[in-house]
Amino acid sequence: MAKADPSDLYMNFADISVDLDAANSASLVEGQFKTGLSVRGQLAWIVHSIEVYFADAAVATSIQELAVCTVGELATMPDLGDKGVIHKCRERLLYAGAAFAAAVYRPYGKEFLPPVPLASPNLSVYAKTAADDANLRGETIEVRLGFTTVPMDSKLVLEIAETWGY
């Protein structure tokens, strides 16, 4: 990756949340975030980490799917190899006992080493469950990106083009 002097010494966070569909949790939903970036701009993000807090509900078992992508307004969940996909993950919620007393709720985290350069003006979070689950309808999934900003230069533009296949 191109070496650039950071504009930030410490981590910044971009928070994006999305509510699962209130009528059918298996329907794809999208949460959008405007980054204010552009490949022609003066700054880029260097994404170091992604944290995902999946919806927590008293269900016997459920699978939640999530993708973070630079492409908005998709009709289907993007595949990991699709254009603009930064991250994709699944979470299987398993609860033990009738009272769900042994439920464990934990965040999912991903660190990028080396970090990922990003200059997209938009970020979208797509989410759905594998099968409709009434207990998860309308529940919120939260995503937090950890990033620092760096000045945009010609080397970084080439790195971004290489990373994202432009």
Of the candidates 9, 165, 1, the one whose C-alpha atom is nearest the C-alpha of residue 83 is: 165
Give residue 124's Cα distance to chain centre.
7
Could you give the CA distance from residue 98 to residue 92 in angstroms, rounded to a whole number? Answer: 18
Residue 2's pLDDT is: 47
Residue 166's pLDDT is: 66
Of the candidates 75, 48, 54, the one whose C-alpha atom is nearest the C-alpha of residue 141 is: 54
Q: Report residue 39 as tokens.
A: 């490949």
The sign of the dihedral angle between the CA atoms of 42, 165, 108, 2 is negative
Residue position matching structure tokens 């620092």: 148
Could you give the CA distance from residue 134 to residue 127 in angstroms, rounded to a whole number? Answer: 15
- H/E element, 74: none
Which residues touch 160 (CB under 8 Å, ≥6 apart)? 39, 44, 117, 118, 119, 166
CA distances (Å), origin 7, targets 11, 43, 71: 11, 8, 26
Would you give the DSSP letter of residue 2?
-
Residue position matching structure tokens 């949460």: 31
Residue 45's SS3 state is strand
- 29-54 pLDDT, tens digit per residue, is 999 999 999 988 899 999 999 999 98
Residue 106's pLDDT is: 61
pLDDT in tens, the chain (166 residues): 445 555 788 999 999 999 999 999 999 999 999 999 998 889 999 999 999 998 876 666 788 999 999 999 999 999 999 999 999 998 876 655 555 544 555 678 899 999 999 999 999 999 999 999 888 899 999 999 999 999 999 999 999 988 887 6
Residue 98's pLDDT is: 52
Domains of the chain (ranges, CATH numbers)? 12-164 (2.60.120)
